[in-house]
Structure 1
Amino acid sequence: MKAIILFGHGARDARWREPFDRLATLWRAQHADTPVELAFLEMMQPSLEEAVSTLASGGATQITIVPVFFGQGGHLRNDFPVLLNACREQFPQLTLSATPAVGDDLAVLQAIVDFGARAL
């Protein structure tokens, strides 16, 4: 079974998480057959390891991690690979893959441009 993790940075302010919760809700409404979990690098739960564990216990065998970051900064270049490799070691029965940061995708950038244009 395939599943997806939407991976964000995390913040001290609990309201920062609200768009991520809405994103997961949208995913569930549009892709009900593919489980989704949120995960955060720091300051919020669940961690990447916890999200992988939850999906694995639900029967997932292939998990794609989508970093919901605008760019490939230090966290994605340095911290994320360490976390991903640790999960691969802890869950060798799973296929874990990751996409580039969402901000690297032209369609995402275009959606932001379109949003700005509608605001004019």
Structure 2
Amino acid sequence: MKIFSTAPEGNEMADMVNARYFNLAIKQIEENAEWLKTATKPTQALLANIDILIILAKRFTVDANLLIKKDRVQEWKKIFNEWFERVGSKIPAKYRDGIKANGDELFKELEQYGH
């Protein structure tokens, strides 16, 4: 087994662990986005999963740029915005603008990664 750095992922056994978490986060986003396409409830988990993906992307930028597809990010953004338009009036007024602003900011951050 080869060791190539002191980083937690600096050996052959651990060097691909972060890719597994990227794939899991992307899978969760895809599932949430599919649900949001027709959802009529004011709750969602998409933004939480995107936040986690951004945390991973900041730490593992090379992997983020390899594994995140920009066209999928644009699709997720579109789906989120359509969901928000459809159910925004069901979100309590004191949270509504903040949720939309958080979504906009998260997508802006996520758009910095991928290919």
Larger strand fraction of residues: 1
TM > 0.5 fold call: no
Larger helix fraction of residues: 2
